[in-house]
Amino acid sequence: MVNVAVVGGGYTKFGEHWSRSLRSLATEAGTLALQDAGIDGKDIEALYVGNMSAGRFIGQEHLGALAADQAGLLPIPATRCEAACASGALAFRKAYMAIKSGEYDIVLAAGSEKMTDVKGTDAVATLMGAGDQEWESAIGLTFTGLYALMARRHMAQFGTTREQLAMVSVNNHKNGVHNERAQFRYEITVEQVLKSALIADPLRLLDCSPITDGAAAVILVSDRIAGKFENPAWVLGGGHASDTVALHDRASLTEANATKIAAKKAYEQAGLSPGGIDVAEVHDCFSINEIMSIEDLGFCRKGDGGKFVEAGKIALNGEMPVNTTGGLKSIGHPIGATGIRQICDILSQLRGRSGRLQVSGANTGLACNIGGTGATSIVHILGKEEPKGR
């Protein structure tokens, strides 16, 4: 069986890029990844692009071919991948599986989104395309409202506090200060979160990830050629699972079953338990999602996520460092790019190149990218050492 490594990655500055196009952001990210890997575009055999809704955000479809064209990669096969907020991770997974199958030796996986060219209300409406249009969007629900329902249930069932939710954002902003590509590079306090504008009770403005433009890209290679590259990060395992799109059809409002299943598959393939993970990037589109994710990934017991955060265990020097570069809350959340950006930051940690954000002794890293309210979950585990006997 072919082993797969990540040998290069890069992402643009995330933020509101009024004067830039989607194609320019995507091209920049691809160029950064190629430069990091030390290769030329002519070496790329296939391209997978994660993007949720360029058609509604900027009126552009057919992104696979467009990306290949703009990057000078024609005539290689190029495929667009869509799984709502997990579109980037899906592109990575398809690139990984394409190499794993033996079809290719070197593949580019990228993700991009240009979200600020429409009004905020239009962006919110577009994002709700990731929910159930008939039973959620059509009656006026937003994703903030859906996650607020999850937060309220978690608070009622497990005693999670409003302050513990705020501590998620505080931790991520503290890390994001030192990430020069983050959209919001400033610290915030629990008090500031609690006093920020109420969006959907109990979630406030500073519990929510922003509307963002940006792009990210990584280079994946087979073990047949990985020896040509310095400091590869090996894909040890991965999992992809689905759940109901409509929140009201879920068995529980306080867990994402797709995340639990995807994580179980990833751990089994990697031969690891949650305790074997040194650093993690998880999907904090809203603060409650990070708390639920660290529970569903097995870093703590179900219901103890708030306490886990309050005890400082997700901090840079904590028991389980989470979102060490700022997470979606501080870095920003250009939907299609986030899953690839997570892989870029895990790659940096495993190479020991994260500067002031470096986790000491990081040998394994996990990335969890979630679509919608948990209808899609994709988990990948990367490590410094090539897996044996596979």
Q: Give the active site residues.
A: 85, 333
Look at residue 380 and give its three-state secondary structure. strand
Phi, psi of 317 (to 5 degrees): -105, 20
Closest CA to 88 of 344, 360, 353, 320: 344
- The identity of residue 155, as a single letter, is M
Q: Residue 58 CB: number of other CB atoms within 10 A? A: 17
> How does 335-354 read in b/e, with b if 16+ C-beta sit within 10 Å?
bbbbbbbbbbbbbbbbbeeb
Range list of β-strands (E), 20-173: 46-50, 78-81, 106-114
In angstroms, the CA 152 to CA 137 distance is: 20
CA-wise closest residue to 380 among 110, 88, 171: 88
> Which segments of 160-294 are extended strands (E)?
198-200, 203-204, 213-222, 233-242, 279-281
